[in-house]
């Protein structure tokens, strides 16, 4: 390859050291003039020869047999040797050895000077093949930067030299710092970097270690990304499928931009979204119901952020996480000396902290029965008193509650007060389980994929087979199960195009033991309704309680009660 009129061979010959490059089998593919001269062989007798047959080449042979992704610098006799394997992504492609002779000087000072010259020469070599090169020392101090710094980072190269990569990252000259990531992980790192000028770089950061294994240099080589889609070569069918998903997600993406995480592609969830938007304009109490993991907290967040109290406190309480003995003091607060172990100055409760704002009570069914009367009084009278206090405090708060239980059945069992139920249930919004709104599965999958790509600085994509498996799976754990599955696949997938081999075991075996037989083609929704009706009828005959039916069908008990009430 020729760039700027200078051949690679000419550059290799210009470096003041012996250089030999092999492929992964050990066959010599490049050697400079000094190496040929040291071996007393002409270039045509060197190229193509097995490195094992060249005397004095045991170090590079060992490197090929025990590959590592780090570079090593060590002294051998009076020589300074740089040894490195050559990788393309994670695949070993070959090895490189550079040997600098001391010419009898033998002093540490001379070797350091020689190494300094080597760094400059390596820079010249790399700059002909990369858009950017960035060198730092083992403490993250910038040593050398390509002359293209101004157009890429918006600052002159002289400004960057001597600066800490940690400071430059904080100043957003570039983000993230690949050098920092290399120093923290102590291994080679490949990631996408965004510069102050808005450019994106695909950066490979490589640590260089001394004999003791300490990182003494980090070399970043980068290419400017003209288009992020060029990072991976997708299958044509995957691109076509993703185009379809983009059209399907048009409404969902607009909503996600407005409320940060709410996806509503299915008709059922569009109704939920519409109702939530309407009640958010008021201060009425809202009761959100649905199975565990369907997204009740996400809906509560949406209502709170769209209300007139959006700029006021928004306090979330998981009622099941508060010990019954501490419930009163946590909600209402306490005065100084109210009980043993209390803070000397007293403490405001969650009601007090949420004043003028919104209070979200998750798992509302778990409020201790002996606390429900006090809780109801606060909601009705809009005032409360701290534990150990004598002064009433006025309260102005909007209540949003959520539960995965059927509160009417809890009332029948004596676990929940009827008057509190009707005080909370001014407007009820039910979120269907994920398998009841399958149109949301693919948009949610892609939204989570995008989220975890950003979080882990990756560029993963799903194959069509994975998306098909997602759509067919029952998702008994609802949106939470889907979210965790996507995160696990993004983190563990060995390649950017995630295939079925990365699916969780539950999805792979979901079709095993099929007991449903299909004899003719009918609309999918009609088939689902028929199957659901038959299963409910069979379960109702076999089991006496809705709890037993729910356990047999693998769904929430509240869902069983709601579906049976429609019959």
Q: 94: domain CATH number?
A: 3.30.450.20
Domain boundary (110, 126, 142) is at 126
DSSP string, 399-458: EEEEESS-HHHHHHTTSS-HHHHHHH-SEEEEPPPGGG-GGGHHHHHHHHHHHHHHHHT-
Name the domain count of the chain.
5
Q: What is the pLDDT of residue 357?
A: 92
Same domain, 274 and 415: yes
CA–CA distance, 418 with 369 (Å, rounded to integer): 11
pLDDT of residue 249: 41
Same domain assignment for residues 330 and 221: no
CATH classification of the domain holding 464: 1.10.8.60
Are 329 and 346 found together in one domain?
yes
Q: Is residue 477 part of a domain?
A: yes
If you search the block for the tokens 């040291």, which residue do you land on? 38
Do 387 and 458 lie in a common domain? Answer: no
- Per-residue pLDDT of 128-168, as tens digits, reads 445 677 888 889 999 888 777 777 888 888 888 889 999 99
Domain assignment present for 430: no
Give the residue, 397 or 511, on which the prediction is more confident: 397
At 433-444, the pLDDT tens digits run 998 998 899 889
pLDDT range class, residue 261, cuts 50, 70, 90:
low
CA dihedral 383, 387, 389, 390 (to 10 degrees): 50
Give the CATH number for residue 380.
3.40.50.300
Confidence of residue 18 (pLDDT cuts 50, 70, 90): confident
Q: How far apart are CA 380 and CA 423, in angstroms?
A: 8
Given a contact cutoff of 8 angstroms between Cβ atoms, the answer to whether 200 and 194 are in contact is yes
Query: Is 431 among the domain residues?
Result: no
pLDDT bin (cut points 50, 70, 90) of residue 491 is: very high
CA-based torsion, 57, 58, 61, 67: positive or negative: negative
**Closest alpha carbon to 370 in 331, 415, 320:** 415
Asked if residue 224 and residue 239 are part of one domain, the reply reads no
Residue where one domain finishes, among candidates 126, 154, 181 = 126
Q: In this predicted model, what pLDDT tens digit does every residue of 364-421 receive, in sequence order?
A: 999 999 899 988 999 999 998 888 877 888 999 999 999 999 999 999 999 999 999 9
Q: Which of 101, 126, 151 is the last residue of a domain?
A: 126
Q: What CA–CA distance (Å, rounded) separates 520 from 146?
A: 67
Evaluate whether residue 471 is within a structural domain: yes
Question: Do residue 117 and residue 219 come from a single domain?
Answer: no
What integer pLDDT is reported at residue 341 of this predicted model? Answer: 54
- Nearest alpha-carbon partner for 403 in 379, 440, 431, 371: 431
Does the structure show a pLDDT above 60 at 264? yes
Same-domain status, 214 and 250: no
Token output for 41: 């062989």
Residues 5 and 16 in one domain: yes
* Claim to verify: residue 135 and residue 245 sit in the same structural domain: no
Q: Token pair of 266, please?
A: 């299915």
Which domain, by its residues, includes 224? 130-231
* Together in a domain, 272 and 298: yes
For residue 156, count other CB atoms closer than 10 A to its CB. Answer: 12
- Whole-angstrom distance, CA of residue 356 vs CA of residue 398: 8
What is the spatial distance between Cα 490 and Cα 448, in angstroms, rounded to a whole number? 10
183-213 confidence digits (pLDDT tens): 988 888 888 888 888 888 878 888 887 767 7
Give the pLDDT score at 131.
60
Higher pLDDT, 487 or 243: 487
More confident residue, 10 or 314: 314
Tell whether 517 is covered by a domain. Answer: no
342 within domain boundaries? yes
User: Looking at the domain assignment, is residue 557 inside a domain?
Assistant: yes
What is the SS3 assignment for 275? helix
Q: Which of 37-51, 95-109, 275-289, 539-553 has the highest mean pLDDT?
A: 275-289
Write the CA distances from 168 to 97, 152, 175, 326, integer angstroms. 33, 14, 9, 48
If asked whether residues 69 and 105 sit together in one domain, one would say yes
Residue 115's Cβ-count burial label (10 Å; 0-12, 13-18, 19+) is: middle
Tell whether the model's pLDDT for residue 303 goes beyond 90: yes
Same domain membership, residue 242 and residue 225: no
The CA distance from 235 to 240, in Å, is 9
Residue 196 lies in a domain: yes
């Amino acid at each position: 390859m020729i760039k700027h009129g200078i051949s690679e061979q000419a550059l290799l010959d210009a470096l003041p050291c012996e250089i030999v490059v092999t492929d992964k089998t050990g066959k010599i593919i490049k050697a400079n003039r000094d190496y040929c001269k040291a071996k007393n062989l002409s270039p045509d007798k060197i190229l193509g020869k097995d490195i094992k047959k060249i005397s004095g080449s045991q170090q590079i042979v060992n490197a090929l047999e025990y590959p590592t992704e780090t570079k090593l610098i060590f002294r051998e006799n009076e020589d300074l040797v740089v040894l490195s394997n050559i990788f393309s992504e994670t695949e070993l492609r070959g090895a490189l050895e550079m040997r600098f002779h001391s010419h009898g000087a033998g002093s540490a000072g001379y070797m350091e000077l020689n190494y300094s010259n080597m760094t400059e020469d390596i820079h010249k070599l790399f700059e002909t093949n990369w858009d950017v090169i960035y060198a730092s020392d083992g403490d993250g101090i910038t040593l050398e930067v390509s002359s293209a710094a101004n157009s890429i980072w918006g600052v002159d190269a002289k400004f960057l030299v001597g600066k800490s990569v940690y400071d430059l990252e904080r100043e957003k000259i570039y983000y993230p710092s690949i050098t920092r990531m290399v120093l923290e992980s102590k291994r080679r790192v490949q990631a996408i970097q965004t510069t102050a000028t808005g450019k994106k770089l695909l950066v490979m950061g490589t640590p260089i270690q001394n004999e003791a294994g300490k990182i003494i240099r980090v070399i970043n080589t980068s290419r400017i990304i003209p288009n992020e889609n060029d990072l991976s070569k997708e299958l044509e069918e995957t691109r076509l499928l993703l185009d379809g998903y983009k059209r399907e997600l048009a409404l969902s993406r607009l909503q996600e931009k407005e409320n940060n995480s709410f996806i509503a592609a299915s008709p059922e969830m569009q109704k939920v979204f519409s109702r939530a938007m309407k009640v958010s304009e008021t201060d009425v109490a809202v009761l959100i119901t649905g199975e565990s993991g369907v997204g009740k907290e996400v809906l509560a967040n949406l209502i709170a952020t769209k209300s007139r109290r959006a700029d006021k406190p928004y306090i979330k309480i998981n009622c099941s996480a508060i010990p019954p003995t501490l419930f009163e003091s946590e909600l209402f607060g306490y005065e100084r000396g109210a009980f043993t172990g209390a803070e000397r100055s007293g403490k405001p409760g969650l009601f007090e902290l949420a004043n003028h704002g919104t209070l979200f009570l998750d798992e509302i069914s778990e409020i201790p029965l002996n606390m429900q009367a006090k809780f109801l009084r606060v909601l009705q009278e809009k005032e409360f008193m701290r534990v150990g206090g004598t002064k009433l405090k006025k309260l102005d708060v909007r209540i949003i509650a959520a539960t995965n239980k059927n509160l009417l059945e809890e009332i029948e069992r004596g676990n929940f007060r009827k008057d509190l139920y009707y005080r909370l249930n001014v407007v009820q919004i039910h979120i269907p389980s994920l398998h009841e709104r399958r149109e949301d599965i693919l948009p949610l999958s892609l939204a989570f994929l995008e989220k975890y790509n950003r979080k882990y600085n990756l560029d993963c994509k799903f194959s069509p087979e994975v998306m098909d498996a997602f759509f067919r799976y029952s998702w008994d754990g609802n949106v939470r199960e889907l979210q965790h599955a996507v995160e696990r696949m993004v983190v563990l997938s060995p390649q950017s195009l995630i295939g079925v081999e990365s699916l969780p075991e539950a999805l792979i075996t979901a079709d095993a033991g099929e007991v449903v037989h299909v004899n003719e083609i009918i609309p999918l929704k009609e088939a689902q309704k028929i199957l659901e009706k038959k299963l409910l009828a069979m379960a109702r005959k076999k089991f006496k309680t809705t709890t037993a039916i729910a356990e047999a069908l693998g769904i929430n008990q509240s869902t069983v009660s709601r579906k049976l009430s429609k019959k």
